[in-house]
Structure 1
Amino acid sequence: MPLRDYPIRRLTEDPSNVLDRGQWPASLAPVAQVLDQGLDLTPATILVGENGSGKSTLVEAIALAYGLSAEGGSTGARHTTRSTESKLSYHLHLVRNAGTTRRGYFLRAETMHGFFTYLEENPSRTGDIPFHDMSHGESFLELAVDRFRGDGLWVLDEPESALSFQGCLTLLTVLKDLLAAGHSQVIMSTHSPVLAALPGAEILEAGPWGLRPRAWEDLDMVTNMRSFLESPERYLRHL
């Protein structure tokens, strides 16, 4: 097997802690597929799909199984408010590539306000950014630029929720540069055609079928957005 320089090469179910397939989230087809068949990961994996399809559940579980904080941060973050995450991480086994970094960071848009407060109350040795003095999108980007450095596993859950079109392009640049430097891995769930266009990423579409590889130009969110921008009145007539 060739040597790989990114942290996680495969997801499998922990054989000593099998999850009941009738129990959520194993009842979601993409989750069941990962548990039943495993999933090979590339340096960049992007999960797309409708709300409730299971993509964020998988991304969250990977982050937790890696040792990252459920509400965002690195392996050292201890911020927690109300626990809402699934138990999937306890049933996942991450097959790591030998000799790779154990660093990482998890960013999820829905918990950022509380996470910013945690960071301001627990500044790093060099001080920290006044996140609450910025807009939500500005602070999100500032955090990504500041923390996403060097080698690591960079996990993002629907980051476009905080970002403008230009903000998505900026984040795309950060992720592209990390991958180009080598030894890093990006796992992201998104509804954004811009972020899904990350160069070299494998795109997996989540749905009732499970997970299936898709080309960017064939994604429903790409064709639907293109059609809407070309003729919004066709859509608005049917709302």
Structure 2
Amino acid sequence: MPRSRRPVRRVEEYPADPMPRDVWPSTLAPVRQLLDEGIDLDTVTVVVGENGAGKSTLVEAIALAYGMSPEGGSTNSGHSTRPSESQLWEHIALHREPGAPKGGFFLRAETMHGFFTYLEEHPGARPEPVFHERSHGESFLDFVIDRSQWPGLWILDEPESALSFQGCLTLIGLLQAIIDDGLGQVVLSTHSPVLAAFPGATIHEVGEWGLRRSSWEDLDLVRNQRSFLASPERYLRHLGAD
């Protein structure tokens, strides 16, 4: 298997412009730990955690510092409709491997409709699929297929919101093929135990403790979903209770 040179091997606070620790998002434990200690990124890095814990904030900041739009797209795409991103990206430094590809893609399921409209309004020299003519999940996978031969950094923020169970498996297969060809590096935030099981991934679980390395079987999201599937009535009978 070809060895991919990682576009980003480490993320640290930018020493010339440190971020105050008393303002959001550095008040989030995972963000504060990133600024204090830095984080190494593997060929595949998966970030999991509850809503609001900071995982999307982290991957968004890496994408922006790399030169991508906060609403998704390739490096230098310029796509933006309503800025809502934090300023964390201005205070971090990305350390690259020599000779690594400089391109990349940031995919956010929640903003893909706007991004596909941007692509239609700014066509390139190469014809590409009309993504709006496909379902949400199909268009998401079609985009990965269409860009799969472009080397670089793939950042995906909660892509499972666009995908079925089978779609999640298909996405893993597509991204694995990109890695096996030596063309890319993947950073993925997710609530999905399927996507978190990406073969060979380094998993970081975020929460009030900050960032911690974890194995798949020890993740809260894996234990919780296993328990729910084994006995859903134990969880559902309490809904709506006073």
User: Aligning the two structures, in what range does the TM-score lie when normalised by the shorter sequence?
Assistant: over 0.9
Give me the whole-angstrom Cα distance separating, in 1, the residues matched to 2:106 and 2:142: 14
Which residues in structure 2 correspond to 1:1-239 (within 5 Å)?
Answer: 5-239=5-239
The question of whether the paired residues in 2 share the 8 Å contact of 1:203 and 1:213 is answered with yes
Q: Please report the TM-score for the alignment, with normalisation by the length of structure 2.
A: 0.94
The question of whether the paired residues in 2 share the 8 Å contact of 1:120 and 1:129 is answered with no
Quote the offset at 1:157 in angstroms. 0.3
Quote the offset at 1:155 in angstroms. 0.3
For residue 158 of structure 1, what is the amino acid of its counterpart? E
Give me the whole-angstrom Cα distance separating, in 2, the residues matched to 1:34 and 1:148: 30
Unaligned runs of 5+ in 1: none
The size of the alignment, in residue pairs, is 237
Residues 109-161 of structure 1: CA distance to partner in whole angstroms, max 9, x if unpaired? 11111111111111221222212211111111111111232421000000001
The question of whether the paired residues in 1 share the 8 Å contact of 2:101 and 2:151 is answered with yes
Question: Match of 2:153, SS?
Answer: strand
The question of whether the paired residues in 1 share the 8 Å contact of 2:4 and 2:185 is answered with no
Question: Match of 2:98, SS?
Answer: coil
Question: Match of 1:8, SS?
Answer: coil
The question of whether the paired residues in 2 share the 8 Å contact of 1:70 and 1:80 is answered with yes
RMSD over aligned CA atoms reads 1.3
**Percent identity of paired positions between Structure 1 and Structure 2:** 61
Deviates more, 1:225-234 or 1:184-193: 225-234
The question of whether the paired residues in 1 share the 8 Å contact of 2:4 and 2:184 is answered with no
Quote the offset at 1:211 in angstroms. 0.3
Give me the whole-angstrom Cα distance separating, in 1, the residues matched to 2:4 and 2:151: 13
Give me the whole-angstrom Cα distance separating, in 1, the residues matched to 2:96 and 2:145: 26
User: After the TM superposition, which segments of 4 or more aligned residues of structure 1 sit over 3 Å from their partners?
Assistant: none
Quote the offset at 1:183 in angstroms. 4.6
For residue 148 of structure 1, what is the amino acid of its counterpart? S
Residues 64-97 of structure 1: CA distance to partner in whole angstroms, max 9, x if unpaired? 1011111111113111101001000000100111
